[in-house]
Amino acid sequence: MNEFFRFKPIYQERVWGGESLKTTFNRAIPAKAPIGESWELVDRKEAQSVVESGTYAGFTLRDLIERHGSEVMGPDYPTDLPFPVLVKWLDCKERLSLQVHPPASIAPSLKGEPKTENWYIADTSPSAQLIVGLKKGVTREQFEAAIKSETLEACVHRFPVAVGDSILVHSGEVHAIDAGNLILEIQQNSDTTYRVYDWGRVGLDGKPRELHVDQSLKSINWNSFEPEPLRGAPTSGVIAECDEFTIRRLVLGAGESFRFEAGEQPRIISMVSGSAHVHVLGKDGKISGPEAVIALERGSNGLLPYSGTFEVTAETITILLITEDFT
C-alpha cells in the first residue's frame, strides 16, 4: 500500500464555535451553525473518518485497518483495536468550559476513557489565553469551596499564548481554552470530558449545560501546578512526548524536502503553516504516477501508512507536525 490518505472532515457544532475554519482554511463549513470542532482523523463507533479520494475513496479508517492492517499500521498491530489517535481542529470563538479528562487509573471506575492531548496554537487573538493546571498551592478543599462560591478563576493557572506555542495536557489536568484561539488538538482516541464549571453559560438549547462535578473532583491531579507551554520556535524538533504519542515539528524552507521511508511506522502529518506537496514514491524512489503528487494546504491532515514511501517538498517556508510512536 503506497498511498497518502486524506479524510473528509467531520464538523461538530459547539456553543463556543465560530467560522475560523472557513476564514482561515477556506473551507465550506455548515452554514448558520457555530462549528467548534473539525474531526480530521477518527476511528470511533460514533464517528468514522472516510477516505476523501484515491484507490480507497469511501473506505472508513476502520475499513482500512481491518482489511489492510499490516500495511497501514504495521505487521504487529491488532486489527480489532481502534486507531489510537484522534486529530481535530478547535475553533474557539468563545471560552470553553473548565474541564478535566480522567486518568487511566480512575477512568474505568467512572466508565470513561483517559485522554492526554496536545494543543498547537495555529492562530490566536492578541488577548487570548489558556488555562492548564492549578495555581501553586491550591488544595482540593479550596477548589471545592471555589466551586460553591463561583470563584474558580482564582484557583487555576492562566497564561497568554502566541502562534506556534504548544502544550501537552495530561489526563487529570484541569484546563480550558480561552476565546480567540484556533488550535490543532492531537489526542488519545477518547471522547470523555467532565465539565467542572461553565462560566454561567447556557447551551445551544438555551439551558445550562450538564456539569460533572463529582467525576471531575475524582479525576483532577491535585499536584499539577502551573505547567508551562513550549513557546514557538522556527526550528525542527520534538514538541510533545508522552506514552501515547510523540509530536515533532518539521520546518522546511522553500524547495526543501523530507522523506519518510516504508517499513518504519505509520505517521500523521499536519500542515500548520505554509504550502507543500506530498510525493508518493515507488520502490525505485521515483514518483509513482500522475496522481502521486498531492498538494498540502494550511489546515491539511493526513495519514502516511506503514508500507509507503513519501517525500514532502515545501513550496514556501512550511511548518508540519509529525505525530508518531502511537503503535
Active site residues: 195
Residues in Cβ contact with 221 at an 8 Å cutoff, skipping those fewer than 6 apart: 103, 170, 172, 173
C-alpha cell of residue 301: 491532515
Q: How many angstroms separate the Cα of 239 from the Cα of each of 78, 166, 308?
A: 28, 7, 25
Q: How far apart are CA 184 and CA 91, in angstroms?
A: 9
Count of Cβ atoms closer than 10 Å to residue 264 Cβ:
12
What are the backbone angles phi and psi of residue 23, rounded to the nearest 5°? -75, -35
Q: How far apart are CA 273 and CA 27, in angstroms?
A: 16
Q: How far apart are CA 175 and CA 101, in angstroms?
A: 9
Per the CB < 8 A criterion, the answer to whether 278 and 311 are in contact is yes
Q: Which amino acid is at 43?
A: D
